Structure 1
Amino acid sequence: MTETLRSADGTVIAYEHTGSGPAVVLVGGAFNDRSTTTALADALAPAFTAYRYDRRGRGDSGDTGPFSPEREIEDLAAVIAAAGGRAHVFGHSSGAVLSLEAAARGVPMTSLAVYEPPFRAGDAPRPGADLLARLEKAGDPDEAAALFLTEAADVPAAVVEQMRQSPVWPYLRAQAHTLRHDVALFEPDFAVPAERYRGVGAPVLVMDGGESPGWFHGAADAVAAAVPGARRVTLAGQDHDVLGRPEVLLPELTAFWS
């Protein structure tokens, strides 16, 4: 059953929870609403109470302006408060970055597991510094979605064109107005804010997939190096699209949270 809460600025945030046991909050990335973490929530339910929510502007949640990353941090803090005031957190992709930013700012977490926060480290190619401005000026959702996929997600233009003809495109298009929220988390240059992450006090697990592009591995290494005491794990045979395979994540998460 869908429930709602109000974030610090009054924005309505929609969420659901399932299962029993210690609270876990699941934070999706770009193009995700709470439906994308359903399979993982169901897999966790026998041992945990899994909370999944619509990030600001997605699904059934509101989108009060003006936007800033601090508003999304407040939203996550409000969901954790609804879960009892403290929770394990799992963040995927830009949801991993949002979760790290919240932890660095003192949002109470029992622990934090992140999968492939899409920073750029070392000499990895970086999106243009004007990507956020270009997304805000995009003429329509199709343009915004294609721009994000090619520049922020590093998807080849030919593949994006195929995606535009596929049944999944209307869903991606419907989320396109929130992509600026994701990119704003990486301002100004998609680099890992190592100094800030040294202030993360919760235990942290940093994961990536063995089949993902190399820049994901570099980003995961850089995050793990920045966060004191972080544990680093690579899931063999996996790529960025891991949310639909909870059986892969479950052993690592349950071991980390036990």
Structure 2
Amino acid sequence: MTDYTTTSQGDRVAHDLRGSGPAVVFVTGAGPDRADDPVTTETAQRVADAGLTTVTFDRLGRGESPAEGRLDLDRELAAVAAMIEVAGAPALLVGHSSGCSVSLRAAAAGLPVTGLALWEAPLGDPAAVTQAWTDEIERLLDADDHENAMRHYMKDMPPEWLAGMESSPAWPAIARTVAAYRADAQSLAWAQHALDDGTLDVTVPVLAMYGVETFPEMPVAAASIVATVPQGTEQEMPGAMHTWEPEPMAARLAEFARQCAGQADQVRAG
């Protein structure tokens, strides 16, 4: 059943709360909301069934979390902070795709996070290239050129993904959803700068994962993240086409969440 929480910046966020125990918050990437993301929903239910608290939510401007204006990274971080409180702070963040960079930024910003489980972070281009890509997306969004903003956002993705969207009669409406991707682009630019500069200030445990069948840059990105943080683990998992298989993923997340919660308890105890 959907619940709603208002963030510190006044945005209303739709979410589902499941289970009890150590907290796990799922941070999706650009595009999906709960209604069209059955893999995350099933995984969250399995993790809850394993004795943890899980939260899935519609990110700002998506699904049942409509939001107007400039949907930047600060507003998105306020939404993540609100979801951590709903789950019961502190929480493990599970980032998917650009949700990885949002999660990294949340941890670096000091949100109450026990650890990060990251699935296929789309990082690896030089920081200057990623920043130029982000700047162009923001320029197009500021000009209300949503169709070209969406095309530019997806320019390095498999071309058939964009072709399928453009062939839909709903393409103009689909393109307008790119307004919600500003935070994703900003977070990716921030994360790439931090990786390149060695300034990624994330001290909690990080599990960087990728699928058995994936794009070649995904294992490289995972290795780069692990090499930059003090407590990093890289792991290949069952999965393909940029997503995971729910059953093994849920088992690994439950194990990692308990590990991170136990370590956090030890730190608090001194």
TM-score, normalising length from structure 2? 0.80
The percentage of aligned residue pairs carrying the same residue is 34
1:210-237 Cα shifts (integer Å, max 9, x gaps): 3222222221111111111111112255
The one-letter code of the counterpart of 2:43 is L
The one-letter code of the counterpart of 1:14 is A
Aligned to 2:267: none
Structure with a larger share of its residues in helix: 2
Unaligned runs of 5+ in 2: 259-270
Partner secondary structure for residue 121 of structure 2: coil
The one-letter code of the counterpart of 2:94 is F
Partner secondary structure for residue 222 of structure 1: helix
Please list every run of at least 4 consecutive aligned residues from structure 1 whose deviation after the TM superposition is greater than 6 angstroms.
167-171
- Of 202, 209, 212, which aligns to 1:210? 212
Aligned to 1:131: 136
Partner secondary structure for residue 49 of structure 2: coil
- Of 66, 75, 81, which aligns to 2:79? 75
- Compared CA separation, residues 174 and 191, structure 1 to 2 (3 A): same
Aligned to 1:165: 167
Q: 1:122, 1:131 → 2: CA distance? A: 16
Indicate conservation of the 8 Å contact 1:116/1:220, yes or no: yes
- Compared CA separation, residues 172 and 91, structure 1 to 2 (3 A): farther
Indicate conservation of the 8 Å contact 2:71/2:179, yes or no: no
Q: 1:133, 1:223 → 2: CA distance? A: 26
**Equivalent residues in 2 for 1:6-85, closer than 5 Å:** 6-35=6-35, 36=37, 37-47=40-50, 48-85=52-89
Partner secondary structure for residue 200 of structure 1: coil
Aligned to 2:119: 115
**Equivalent residues in 2 for 1:139-158, closer than 5 Å:** 139-140=145-146, 142-151=147-156, 154-156=157-159, 158=160
Q: 1:168, 1:208 → 2: CA distance? A: 32
The one-letter code of the counterpart of 1:42 is Q
Indicate conservation of the 8 Å contact 1:31/1:172, yes or no: no
Aligned to 1:182: 184
**Equivalent residues in 2 for 1:223-238, closer than 5 Å:** 223-235=225-237, 238=240
Q: 1:34, 1:18 → 2: CA distance? A: 14
Indicate conservation of the 8 Å contact 1:221/1:232, yes or no: yes
Q: 1:144, 1:252 → 2: CA distance? A: 36
Indicate conservation of the 8 Å contact 1:208/1:239, yes or no: no
Query: Cα offset for 1:241?
Result: 2.6
Q: 1:161, 1:99 → 2: CA distance? A: 29
Query: Cα offset for 1:207?
Result: 0.7
Segment drifting more, 22-31 vs 207-216: 207-216
Q: 1:149, 1:32 → 2: CA distance? A: 14
- Of 75, 96, 101, which aligns to 1:97? 101
TM-score, normalising length from structure 1? 0.84
Indicate conservation of the 8 Å contact 2:5/2:12, yes or no: yes
- Compared CA separation, residues 26 and 186, structure 1 to 2 (3 A): same
Indicate conservation of the 8 Å contact 1:23/1:87, yes or no: yes
1:176-226 Cα shifts (integer Å, max 9, x gaps): 2212221121236x72513442x2122111111232222222211111111
Query: Cα offset for 1:77?
Result: 0.9
Indicate conservation of the 8 Å contact 1:28/1:34, yes or no: no
Partner secondary structure for residue 240 of structure 2: coil
**Alpha-carbon RMSD:** 2.8
**Equivalent residues in 2 for 1:242-257, closer than 5 Å:** 242=244, 245-257=245-257
